[in-house]
């Protein structure tokens, strides 16, 4: 921090926040070569960019003074892609410029524009906002920028992805020509480079290596999961890692609502963030995460962009992101400010190749494996109980007196069992999941079946001796049905072995399979006890496919009875004349 002398207001603010070591991007923006110049910075999310550009524009705003002049027209304009990111930047710059007397005002969509106009009229040193709302204030005259000295575009690549190009160009064209322009972006696509050449002058280029900085504090894991057990795997991951705060990403609003409902039903304190929520609802959800009333946030990409939550140690991609940039933005919500984080991708068998391409393009390596099992979670619960304050804290005299009274009435085993029950009472139950195994499924055969012709008298070709009972499962090719994960699920839910399953036939919307008649009644009883709404197994009452004779003749076709006379085609009616009034449709020039 040699850029700021001792006693500088930013030095005091950083010291109060325990900024003993600056991140690489923060060190780069205060180098002598970057002083008073336009900056083009590429650095991953979570690398401390907000504090970085706050430090970079300090000399431009303060000069040699220690305190800013009374607030009037803004001196700096910060443009962010989302409301959440803009409000986060507002909070960061407020404490950073507190000792300099800085007044920071936010202008974001979803807030009362008249209240923002009153705030601007009272004066501001720094204005932070979203592109659309800032342009609206500029056009209405509420935001005056004649004294503007610096413009910062934060997450520029996201703003272009969200369609804010026209608004950004309007803002940059309206600002004074002698301003400083600082452009921060996680990636530098061609559109960003073009914008930099057009609106920046002799920009100082700063690039923080994505492989060293962007992923240094994030551990990536890829979890193999069957299509019908994604929600169960999410439950087990939340129980296994026990992160103070977790972000679970889905691709659609419907998926967000569905997964949040499942987590609430399982006993998790979960909130949702999606584009359909109003600003007040989104603020309440984020506040619940910050003050600890909620531990899990299920969100779409748009709603979760720019969110910075304390103690966010886990990010789960319940659905794979569309591209590597989205993967980086999602994962960058964790592993921030020196904290370690974990990013978990849920990978279906049919999406393994896409997951590998995403990881390769993003330049990260993931550890592949199955979802944590219920036994793994129970073992962890036991270890956590032994380390819990209930056990490790020193006992008071009252505690010892009550313990002696309990021992006089109950055995130590009873008291220990009661402690275990009390500990587990607030924990959501772990789910039974299985690892479908590595590999990419192939759906070349339309059905999976054994040979239908019997080899010997009394032996069925499907491997079952004697009679069998057919069942129907409401999962087919549309839901990526495959014997590799269907067979373990059938065995687990029906409490049978693999040898007691016969033929399996996968259709478009359902799967039919047969079970040895000797275990059919036990299978039915077990399935009815464990039946869930998403996967239903029921007996196939109609005749099974194997019982239909192969030579059964096809029913004769029904023909239309012959008419009394020959069929003649009626001439097509002439199209009505659409020419000029009074014209002749049959007129031909000579």
Distance CA 286, CA 282 (A): 6
| Residue 42 predicted with pLDDT over 80 | yes
Task: Give yes or no for a contact between 308 and 89, defined as CB atoms under 8 angstroms apart.
Answer: no
| Residue 579 predicted with pLDDT over 70 | no
| Residue 585 predicted with pLDDT over 60 | no
Q: Is there a common fold for 9-212 and 215-373?
A: yes
Instruction: Give pLDDT tens digits for 154-180.
Output: 988 888 877 899 999 999 999 999 999
Q: Please report which confidence band the pLDDT of residue 118 belongs to, taking 50, 70 and 90 as the band edges.
A: very high
Report the chain's mean pLDDT, rounded to a whole number.
81
Q: Which pLDDT belongs to residue 221?
A: 95
Which structure tokens are listed for 513? 């399979």
Phi, psi of 415 (to 5 degrees): -70, -40
> What is the reported pTM?
0.61
Which structure tokens are listed for 432? 């039974």
Helix axes 131-140, 165-174, angle to 10 degrees: 40
Residue predicted with more confidence, 579 or 28: 28
Q: Which pLDDT belongs to residue 580?
A: 52
Domain 468-545 sits in CATH at: 3.30.70.330
What number is the average pLDDT over the span 418-442? 73
Query: What percentage of the chain carries pLDDT values higher than 90?
Result: 36
Which sequence spans correspond to the domains of the chain?
9-212, 215-373, 378-425, 468-545
Q: Which pLDDT belongs to residue 458?
A: 34
Query: By C-alpha distance, which of 477, 467, 561 is closest to 515?
Result: 467
Question: Of 123-132, 339-348, 556-565, which one has max mean pLDDT?
Answer: 123-132
Domain 9-212 sits in CATH at: 3.40.50.300
| Residue 329 predicted with pLDDT over 90 | no
| Residue 383 predicted with pLDDT over 50 | yes
Fold of 215-373: Rossmann fold (3.40.50)
Residue predicted with more confidence, 472 or 335: 472
Task: Give yes or no for a contact between 520 and 469, defined as CB atoms under 8 angstroms apart.
Answer: yes
The least confident of 354-358, 372-376, 553-557 is: 553-557
| Residue 303 predicted with pLDDT over 90 | no
Q: Please report which confidence band the pLDDT of residue 552 belongs to, taking 50, 70 and 90 as the band edges.
A: very low
Distance CA 188, CA 346 (A): 28
What number is the average pLDDT over the span 321-326? 87
Q: Which pLDDT belongs to residue 111?
A: 84
Residue predicted with more confidence, 580 or 107: 107
| Residue 587 predicted with pLDDT over 60 | no
Q: Which pLDDT belongs to residue 459?
A: 35
What number is the average pLDDT over the span 78-84? 89
| Integer angstrom CA distances of residue 472 from 59, 538, 544 | 72, 5, 10
Q: Which pLDDT belongs to residue 392?
A: 74
Q: Which pLDDT belongs to residue 336?
A: 72
Using the Cα atoms of residue 64, residue 68, residue 69 and residue 73 in order, give the sign of their dihedral: positive
What number is the average pLDDT over the span 442-463? 40
Q: Which pLDDT belongs to residue 447?
A: 41
| Residue 375 predicted with pLDDT over 70 | yes
Q: Which pLDDT belongs to residue 460?
A: 37
| Residue 449 predicted with pLDDT over 60 | no
Task: Give yes or no for a contact between 224 and 436, defined as CB atoms under 8 angstroms apart.
Answer: yes
| Integer angstrom CA distances of residue 352 from 94, 434, 437 | 45, 17, 11
The least confident of 261-270, 301-310, 372-381 is: 301-310
Chain centroid to CA 87: 21
Query: By C-alpha distance, which of 182, 192, 193 is closest to 56?
Result: 182
Give the DSSP per-residue string, 109-143: TTS-HHHHHHHHHT--SEEEE-HHHHHHHHHHTSS
In this structure, how many other beta carbons lie within 10 angstroms of the beta carbon of residue 411?
Answer: 10
Query: By C-alpha distance, which of 362, 278, 305, 25 is closest to 159?
Result: 305
What number is the average pLDDT over the span 324-336? 83
């Amino acid at each position: 921090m040699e850029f700021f002398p001792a006693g500088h207001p930013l030095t005091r603010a950083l010291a109060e926040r325990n900024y003993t070591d600056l991140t690489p991007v923060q060190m780069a923006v205060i180098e002598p070569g970057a002083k008073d110049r336009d900056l083009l910075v590429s650095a991953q999310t979570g690398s401390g960019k907000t504090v970085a550009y706050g430090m970079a524009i300090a000399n431009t705003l303060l000069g040699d003074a220690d305190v800013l002049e009374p607030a009037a027209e803004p001196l700096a304009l910060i443009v962010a892609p989302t409301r959440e990111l803009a409000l986060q930047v507002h909070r960061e710059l407020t404490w950073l410029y507190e000792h300099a007397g800085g007044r920071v005002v936010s202008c974001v969509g979803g807030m009362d524009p008249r209240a923002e106009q009153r705030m601007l009229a009272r004066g501001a040193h720094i204005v932070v906002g979203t592109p659309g709302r800032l342009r609206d204030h500029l056009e209405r005259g509420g935001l005056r920028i004649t004294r503007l000295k610096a413009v910062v575009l934060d997450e520029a690549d996201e703003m272009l992805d969200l369609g804010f190009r026209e608004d950004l160009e309007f803002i940059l064209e309206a600002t004074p020509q002698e301003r400083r322009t600082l452009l921060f972006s996680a990636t530098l696509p061609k559109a960003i480079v073009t914008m930099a050449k057009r609106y920046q002058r002799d920009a100082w280029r700063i690039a923080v290596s994505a492989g060293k900085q962007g992923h240094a504090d994030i551990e990536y894991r890829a979890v193999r999961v069957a299509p019908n057990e994604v929600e169960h795997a999410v439950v087990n991951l939340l129980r296994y890692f026990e992160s103070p705060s977790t972000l679970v990403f889905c691709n659609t609003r419907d998926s967000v609502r569905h997964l949040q409902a499942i987590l609430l039903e399982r006993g998790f304190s979960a909130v949702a963030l999606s584009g359909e929520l109003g600003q007040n609802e989104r603020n309440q959800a984020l506040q619940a995460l910050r003050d600890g009333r909620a531990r899990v946030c299920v969100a779409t990409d748009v709603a979760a962009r720019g969110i910075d939550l304390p103690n966010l140690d886990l990010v789960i991609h319940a659905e794979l992101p569309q591209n590597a940039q989205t993967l980086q933005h999602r994962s960058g919500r964790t592993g921030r400010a020196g904290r370690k984080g974990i990013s978990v991708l849920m990978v279906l068998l049919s999406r393994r190749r896409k997951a590998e391409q995403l990881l390769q393009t993003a330049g990260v390596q993931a550890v592949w494996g199955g979802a944590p099992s219920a036994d793994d979670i129970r073992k962890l619960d036991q270890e956590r109980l032994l380390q819990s304050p209930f056990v490790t804290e020193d006992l008071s005299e009252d505690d010892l007196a009550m313990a002696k009274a309990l021992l006089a009435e109950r055995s130590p085993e009873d008291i220990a069992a009661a402690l275990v029950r009390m500990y587990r009472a607030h924990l959501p139950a772990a789910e039974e999941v299985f690892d479908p195994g590595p590999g990419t499924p192939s759906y070349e055969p339309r059905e999976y079946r054994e040979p239908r012709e019997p080899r010997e008298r009394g032996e069925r070709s499907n491997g079952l001796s004697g009679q069998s009972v057919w069942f129907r499962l409401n999962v087919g090719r549309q839901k990526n049905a495959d014997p590799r994960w269907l067979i373990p699920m059938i065995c687990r839910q029906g409490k049978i072995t693999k040898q007691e399953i016969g033929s399996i036939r996968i259709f478009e919307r359902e799967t039919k399979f047969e079970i040895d008649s000797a275990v059919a009644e036990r299978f039915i009883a077990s399935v009815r006890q464990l039946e869930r709404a998403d996967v239903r197994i029921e007996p196939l009452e109609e005749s099974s496919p194997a019982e239909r004779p192969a030579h059964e003749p096809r029913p004769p076709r029904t023909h239309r009875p012959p008419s009394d006379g020959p069929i003649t085609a009626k001439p097509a009616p002439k199209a009505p004349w659409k020419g000029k009034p009074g014209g002749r449709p049959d007129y031909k020039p000579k």
